[in-house]
Amino acid sequence: MTEEAYTYIVRCADGSYYTGWSTDPERRLAAHNSGRGAAYTRARRPVRLVYVERLPTRSAAMRREQSIKRLSRRGKQRLIRAARDAQRGDDAKGG
């Protein structure tokens, strides 16, 4: 059985974005913030989780990670904003 996975974006203390994938984004966030995450985030702590997308398989999450990494900074910001706006809409509906 394949395990669902997540693609995520964190915003680093210097304002940059880091994209990754994980089966447990909250655990991965803790790893980034403790200095056990990616080398990129180690020098840019603390990081804050700003985007999470659930996918059906690890391979789908890895493919999505690569597609997000190809986005410009502005493209990533649009993606984050759209997800935040959608979440707010769900919250307003009670869902």
Q: Enumerate the domain spans of the chain.
A: 5-93
**Helices and strands per DSSP (H, E), number in the chain:** 4, 3
CATH superfamily of 5-93: GIY-YIG endonuclease (3.40.1440.10)
* Residue 78 φ/ψ, nearest 5 degrees: -65, -45
Roughly how many angstroms between the first and final C-alpha of the chain, as a whole number? 29
Contact between residue 60 and residue 5 where contact means Cβ atoms under 8 Å apart: yes
pTM of the model: 0.90
pLDDT at 95 exceeding the cut of 80: no
Both structure tokens of 38: 């990616």
In tens, the pLDDT along 17-73 reads: 999 999 999 999 999 999 999 999 999 999 999 999 999 999 999 999 999 999 999
Which are the contacts of 49, defined by CB distance < 8 A and separation ≥ 6? 8, 9, 10, 25, 26, 29
